[in-house]
Amino acid sequence: MLGIKNYNPKMYTNPSNIIEDHRTKLEALIGKNVKEIWIVWAQDEDEWFNDCPVIICFEDGQLELCAYKTNEYAITFDKILVSQDLSWYGSDLKINWEKNKLEELNFAIGKRVIGIEIIERRETNASDYYLAGIGLHLNDGYFAICNGFDENLIIKKREEGPNFKHKII
């Protein structure tokens, strides 16, 4: 799935299911330092290919996050091998895993995770919230991998207000 060999993540639409399935592993990341961040890079376009997971590596494992559809989000641990080639559904798209390639996330390298949250969001004047992403509070900063309407979006400032709910892990 997503051009990654043997990658079949469970898609989540409800924060409670993420907490039920991954609370222990998410809690274990608190106090750990971000070692590196891997993303998929489109070689010909020379840009981030934000349809594939963002991999946040720690000393002893990796957290893999990916917005899939507007209301679906994948979270896995240690399932993706960045040494394997990518194949985007049989296309000739040239994409590769790249380490610490996104300047906007490099501030997080070496920082300690002090908290993790699941973000829900609703559109203005809507009553229903949808699963929007996962946020990491660092000892010096914050970032979240959120749903940018079926692709990953990086948020570096915590979004608050009546259209957001945050479930702290």
Q: Is 137 helix (H, G, I), strand (E, B) or coil?
A: strand
Q: Is 17 helix (H, G, I), strand (E, B) or coil?
A: helix
- 4 domain residue, yes or no: no
* Total residues belonging to the chain: 169
Which residue is listed with tokens 């399935």?
21
Q: Quick one: pLDDT at residue 5?
A: 84
Contact 38, 54 (CB under 8 A): yes
- 153 domain residue, yes or no: yes
Q: What is the per-residue pLDDT across 120-154, written as a single tens digit (0 to 9) for each?
A: 998 887 888 889 999 999 999 999 999 998 899 99
- 2 domain residue, yes or no: no
- 3 domain residue, yes or no: no
Residue 113's nearest CA partner among 3, 17, 32, 21 is 32
Q: How far apart are CA 161 and CA 163, in angstroms?
A: 6
- 116 domain residue, yes or no: yes
Residue-level pLDDT, tens digit, the chain, 169 residues: 677 888 999 999 999 999 999 999 999 999 999 999 999 999 999 999 999 999 999 999 999 999 988 789 999 999 999 999 898 888 889 999 999 999 999 999 999 999 999 999 988 878 888 899 999 999 999 999 999 988 999 999 999 999 999 999 8
Helix or strand holding residue 131 (H, E): strand 130-138
- 6 domain residue, yes or no: no
- 1 domain residue, yes or no: no
- 137 domain residue, yes or no: yes
Which residue is listed with tokens 């610490």?
100
> Can you give the residue range of the structural domain that contains 118?
11-168
Q: How many structural domains are present in the chain? A: 1
